[in-house]
A and B are shown apart, each in its own frame.
Chain A
Amino acid sequence: MLRLTRYIPMLFLAVSASQAWADASPLSFDSGLTALPLTQIPLEELVKMDVQSASKIAGQISAAPSAVSIITADDIKANGYHTLAEILESMRGLYITNDRAYSFLGGRGFGRPGDFTGRIMLLLDGTQINNNIYSSGNLEYVGIIDPSLIERVEYVSGPGSAIYGNNAFFGIINVITKQGHDINGLQVVGEVASYGGRDAKINYGKRLENGAKVLLSASGFNSDGQNLTLSQDASGNVGRALNLDEQQSRRLFGKVEWENWFAELAYSTRKKDIPTAPYGADFNAPYNYEDTMFSASLKHDRWISPALQMSLHGYYGHFEYQGLATFSSIAFKERSVGQWLGLNAQFVGNWFKGQRILFGSEVRYDFDQRIKTSALDLDTYESTLGLYAQDEIKLNQQWLINLGARFDVNQNEFNNNVQRLSPRLALTYKPFDTTNIKLSWSQAYRRPNPFEKHYTDNLTLFSNAELKPERVRATELVIEHHLDRDTRLLGALYYYQTDNVIFQKDLDASAGTSQFNNVRGGAADGAEVELEKHWDNDVRLRTSVAIQSAEDGDGRWQINAPRRIGKLNFSAPFFKRAWRVAYEMQAYSERKTERGTMLGGFSLANLTLSADDLLPNLSAAVGVRNLFDRDYAHVAPSSNDKQILIPQDGRSYWLRMTYEFK
C-alpha cells in the first residue's frame, strides 16, 4: 500500500524544532533548569528577549524524535476516564480489545487479542511496569495507577529499544503522575456505575514547607458485572454464564519528591471472574484471575559538572498472578511470581555546542521467575546488562540529527547468552517556525519471556526453550505543523517489518496441540492524521484518522487489525464555564477474527458532563458510555475455544462526586 517511506532518499534531512530538543530531558521531571541562568540577566535585558509562548496544546516530555500522542489531566477529567485502557482508546491509531479478562492494546499492525506481551513498554514515571513472566503491562482495573493521579499519558509510537532496551518493541507508554500541589489538600472521591460498580478514592497531595512534594492515594473498585449470554461450545450453542463477571481491585500509591530525590511506591491488585471459559475450561463454572503488582522506585539527579548531568534510578518490581479454572469439574490452579531489581545510571553531557549526548548503563537482575501449576514447577532467573548512547546534534537552526543505539547482554540460568544491538537514527528539519518534519529509522527486539519458553500443561501447550528474540525494523515520517499557537496538525507515515515473531503455533490442529515458535514476521504500513485545536474560551477539539495495512508472515491480512480507525474528542464549557460537556467518538472498520470470519465495523460514542464547585469544595461528573447502545463485540483470542467474538457492554452510566478538604 503506502510504501513511500522506503523510497525517501537518505539525504532528505528533516529538522525537529524545540520540541525534541529543549523539552526532552529523560533525566529530570523538572524542566526548570533554564530559570537559574535567567536570574543572572538584568530585567532590562530580559524584556528584550524572545519568549516561546506556552501553547495550550501539550508538548512532549518523553525523549524520542517521534509522533507522540499526549492525553493530559484536563482531558482525563473532562472525559471521566476510569482506566488506562479508556485513555488509550481515545488516541490516534490505537484500539483496545477486551476479552472480559484483560484489555489488550492494538495499533499499527500489532494487537492479537490475548497477546499478553502487548509488545509495548509501560512506564510509570519512567519505571518499567511490564512483568517478567508474561511481559504484560496491565491497562484496566489491574492497572498500577488510578487515573485521578495522572498528570499526562504519552504514547510514543515506534521501536524504543535504542534507549529502553527489551520489550519497547512497538512503542512506549509513559504515565506521568501529578505533583503534590496539583491536588493541594485531601480529596475524597466516590463513584457509582452500572453493573453494580462502586469506586472510592482518597488522594492527598501537598508541597510542604521544606520543599518536599508528597502525593498519597488509596483506592478500591468493585463491580458485580453481568450475567452474560455467550457461545458455550464450538458449535455456537449459547448458554448463560452466571455471576462470572465480577471484579474487585485495590490500589495504594505514594510519591515523595524532595530536592533532587524522588521516591515512589505503587501497589495494585485485582481479582476478576472470567465468564468465557477459555482454554477448554467448563462453561459456567468457577474461573478467575488475580493479578498483583508492586513497584518501588528511587531516583536521584545531580549535576556532576556544569556540562554533565547524572540521573541514578534504582527500582524493584514484584508481580504475582493466581488463576483458578474448572476442567471436568476439577479445580485447576496456577500461580506465577516475578521479582526484579535494577539500577539505571544515565548521563547527559553538553560538552560540545549544539550537541546533547546521552549515555548510560542499566543492570537488571530478574532474580525470581516462577510458574507453578500441576504440570509445571518452573523456578528460574536471568540478568541483563544494557549500555546505551545517543547523540542529538543541532546542525543549525533548521536541522537536527539524532543518532543512538543500545547494546543488551542477557544471561539466563542455563548460561545462554543473548546479545542484541538496537540502533536508531532520526533526522529533523524545521523549514519554518511552525513546521517540523522528522524522519526516523529504528530497530527493536524482544526476548522470549518465561511463559513463552517454559509454560506447558503437558496436554495442549508445549514448551520451547530454544525460542529466539523477535525483531522489528521501523521507518517513520512525521510532519507536524502549527497553524497557530493553539492549532496543531500532525501527519505520520510508517512502515514496520517484524522478524522471528514469537507466536503460538499449532503443532497438530486435530490434536489441538500448540507451541510458541519463531515464525516469519509480517509487515505493517499506514498513515495517520491528527488535528488538535484549543480555542480561547476553553473549547477543545482533537480528531484523528488512521489507515493501516497489516500482513502476517504469509502475506495474509493480520487478525484483529481494522483498516481504518477514526477518533473524535470534543469538549466545551457552558453555563458561564461552571460546567463542561465532553463528547467522544471512536469508529473502526471491519476486521478478521481468529477463525477467519469477519467482524463488522462499528462506532461508539461517550458523553460526559462535569461541574467543578457544584457546591463549595464539591465537584461532580456524570457520564454515559456507549451512548447509542450499540450492539458490538471484540475479537476473541484463539485460546477462547468457545467464542469467536466477545460481546461488549451496552449503554452504561456512571456518577462521580469529589469532595476537597483544603
Chain B
Amino acid sequence: MKRGYLVQQLLLLTLLCGFARFAFAEDLASSAPVPEYDMKAAYLYNFAVLTTWPGQNQTNIRMCVLGHDNFRGSLEQLTKKTKSGMQFSLRYLADLNAVSSCQLLFIDSSENVDAAILFKQLEGLSVLTVTDNAALFDAGVMLGMFVDSKRLVFDVNHAQAQKAGLALSSKLLRVARKVF
C-alpha cells in the first residue's frame, strides 16, 4: 500500500459512515439479547421484591451467593440504592455456616454442594433458595432458573417455600413456567 492511501481510505469511509448512520438508523437497543447472568440478577431482584419473609423487616435483604461468581458485577449493581426503598446487601459464602444470616441464597450451577447437607443447614430457617442447577432444584430448592429457547424461565417449588414460612406473591407465581 502506498503511504497516503490509508488516510484517503479513512476519510472516504468516515463520509460513508456519516451517511450510513442516517440511512440505516433503527431502534437497535430493543432487539439486543440480554446477557444470561444480567437477567438472572434482575430475576433475583424481582424474587426478593415479590417475597414476604415471616415477621422480618422487609427493607433490608441479604443476598448470599454460593459458588463461582458468574455475575461479574451485575449483582453488585443491586446493592446500590434503589427507588423502591429496598436495600440489598451481598455476601459470597465460602461454605454453609453463615447461611442463617441470609434472606436469599443463590446456589450457582458450578457449585458441587451435597443436597442433603444443604437442606440440613437450611432446616428451620426462612431462606429463599434459588439455583440454576437442575439437579439441585429437583432435590428441593424453591426457585430454579433455566434458559429455554432463548428465554430465561423459572419454576417454583411452592410447597418448599410455604414450609419455610415464605409467602410468594401471585405476581411471581403467575409468570412462572411450572409451579408445584
What are the residues of chain A within 8 A of B122 when measuring CB–CB? none
What are the residues of chain B within 8 A of A403 when measuring CB–CB? 10, 13-14, 17
Q: Is the interface of B mostly helix, strand, loop or mixed?
A: mixed
Any A CB within 8 A of the CB of B41: yes
User: Chain B interface: which of A40-48, A167-175, A214-222, A594-602?
Assistant: A40-48
What are the residues of chain A within 8 A of B41 when measuring CB–CB? 32, 35, 38
In whole angstroms, how far apart are the Cα atoms of A401 and B15 in the complex? 12
In whole angstroms, how far apart are the Cα atoms of A326 and B30 in the complex? 69
Q: Evaluate contact between B72 and A30: CB separation under 8 angstroms.
A: yes
Q: Which of A2-28 contact B (CB under 8 A)?
A: 6, 10, 18, 22, 28
In whole angstroms, how far apart are the Cα atoms of A36 and B89 in the complex? 15
What are the residues of chain B within 8 A of A249 when measuring CB–CB? none
What are the residues of chain B within 8 A of A36 when measuring CB–CB? 77, 80
A557 to chain B, nearest CB (A): 23
Q: Evaluate contact between B39 and A32: CB separation under 8 angstroms.
A: no
Any B CB within 8 A of the CB of A556: no
Q: Evaluate contact between A35 and B77: CB separation under 8 angstroms.
A: yes
- Between A31, A39, A393, A399, the greatest number of chain B beta carbons within 10 A of the residue's beta carbon is seen for A39
| Residue interface mask B15-57, A partner, CB < 8 A = 1 | 0010011001111110111111111011101100010000000
Q: Evaluate contact between B69 and A47: CB separation under 8 angstroms.
A: no
In whole angstroms, how far apart are the Cα atoms of A394 and B17 in the complex? 10
What are the residues of chain A within 8 A of B95 when measuring CB–CB? 662
Any B CB within 8 A of the CB of A443: yes
Q: Evaluate contact between A6 and B1: CB separation under 8 angstroms.
A: yes
Q: Evaluate contact between B9 and A33: CB separation under 8 angstroms.
A: no
Q: Which of B62-89 contact A (CB under 8 A)?
A: 68-80, 82-83, 89
Q: Evaluate contact between B17 and A401: CB separation under 8 angstroms.
A: yes
Q: Evaluate contact between A30 and B76: CB separation under 8 angstroms.
A: yes
What are the residues of chain B within 8 A of A29 when measuring CB–CB? 73
Q: Evaluate contact between B21 and A51: CB separation under 8 angstroms.
A: no
What are the residues of chain B within 8 A of A399 when measuring CB–CB? 24
What are the residues of chain B within 8 A of A179 when measuring CB–CB? 69
Closest to B27 in A: A353
Partner of B34, one of A34, A39, A394: A34
Any A CB within 8 A of the CB of B163: no
Any A CB within 8 A of the CB of B153: yes
In whole angstroms, how far apart are the Cα atoms of A75 and B76 in the complex? 26
Q: Evaluate contact between B69 and A10: CB separation under 8 angstroms.
A: no
In whole angstroms, how far apart are the Cα atoms of A39 and B78 in the complex? 8
What are the residues of chain B within 8 A of A423 when measuring CB–CB? 6-7, 10
Q: Evaluate contact between A22 and B32: CB separation under 8 angstroms.
A: yes
What are the residues of chain B within 8 A of A30 when measuring CB–CB? 72-73, 76-77
Q: Evaluate contact between A32 and B38: CB separation under 8 angstroms.
A: yes
A143 to chain B, nearest CB (A): 25
Any A CB within 8 A of the CB of B120: no
Q: How many residues of B contact A (CB 8 A)?
A: 65
Any A CB within 8 A of the CB of B172: yes
In whole angstroms, how far apart are the Cα atoms of A562 and B69 in the complex? 40
Any B CB within 8 A of the CB of A203: no
Closest to B72 in A: A31
Any A CB within 8 A of the CB of B147: yes
What are the residues of chain A within 8 A of B73 when measuring CB–CB? 28-33
Any A CB within 8 A of the CB of B164: no
A428 to chain B, nearest CB (A): 13
In whole angstroms, how far apart are the Cα atoms of A6 and B6 in the complex? 12
Q: Is the interface of A mostly helix, strand, loop or mixed?
A: mixed
Closest to A39 in B: B45
B58 to chain A, nearest CB (A): 17
In whole angstroms, how far apart are the Cα atoms of A48 and B92 in the complex? 30
Q: Evaluate contact between A35 and B42: CB separation under 8 angstroms.
A: yes
Taking A39-B42, A395-B20 as contacts, is the C-beta distance between A52 and B171 under 8 angstroms?
A: no
Q: Evaluate contact between B94 and A662: CB separation under 8 angstroms.
A: yes
Any B CB within 8 A of the CB of A207: yes
- Between B14, B31, B68, B77, the greatest number of chain A beta carbons within 10 A of the residue's beta carbon is seen for B77
| Residue interface mask B76-118, A partner, CB < 8 A = 1 | 1111101100000111111100000000000000001000000
B4 to chain A, nearest CB (A): 12
Taking A47-B151, A397-B28, A403-B10 as contacts, is the C-beta distance between A54 and B36 under 8 angstroms?
A: yes
Q: Evaluate contact between B94 and A46: CB separation under 8 angstroms.
A: no
Closest to A257 in B: B76
| Residue interface mask A479-502, B partner, CB < 8 A = 1 | 000000000000000000000000
Partner of B28, one of A6, A52, A353, A662: A353
Closest to B9 in A: A10
Q: Evaluate contact between B32 and A211: CB separation under 8 angstroms.
A: no
Q: Evaluate contact between B26 and A396: CB separation under 8 angstroms.
A: yes
Partner of B74, one of A32, A184, A393: A32
In whole angstroms, how far apart are the Cα atoms of A51 and B94 in the complex? 29
Any B CB within 8 A of the CB of A182: yes
In whole angstroms, how far apart are the Cα atoms of A574 and B62 in the complex? 37
Q: Evaluate contact between B112 and A396: CB separation under 8 angstroms.
A: no
Taking A43-B171, A46-B43, A394-B28 as contacts, is the C-beta distance between A35 and B78 under 8 angstroms?
A: yes
In whole angstroms, how far apart are the Cα atoms of A44 and B174 in the complex? 8
In whole angstroms, how far apart are the Cα atoms of A48 and B90 in the complex? 27
What are the residues of chain B within 8 A of A391 when measuring CB–CB? 17
Any A CB within 8 A of the CB of B125: no
In whole angstroms, how far apart are the Cα atoms of A396 and B27 in the complex? 9
Any B CB within 8 A of the CB of A533: no
List 27 A–B pairs whose Cβ atoms lie within 8 Å, in order of A's numbering: A29-B73, A31-B73, A32-B73, A35-B42, A36-B77, A38-B42, A44-B174, A47-B153, A49-B33, A51-B35, A51-B36, A51-B152, A179-B69, A182-B68, A182-B69, A185-B94, A207-B92, A211-B90, A353-B27, A354-B25, A393-B21, A395-B17, A395-B24, A397-B28, A401-B13, A401-B20, A423-B10
Q: Which chain B residues have a beta carbon within 8 Å of chain A's beta carbons?
A: 1, 6-7, 9-10, 12-14, 17, 20-21, 24-29, 31-39, 41-43, 45-46, 50, 68-80, 82-83, 89-95, 112, 147, 150-154, 171-172, 174-175
- Extra contacts besides A47-B154, A354-B28 (13): CB < 8 Å: A30-B72, A39-B45, A43-B46, A46-B46, A48-B151, A51-B36, A51-B151, A207-B90, A395-B17, A396-B24, A401-B17, A401-B20, A577-B112
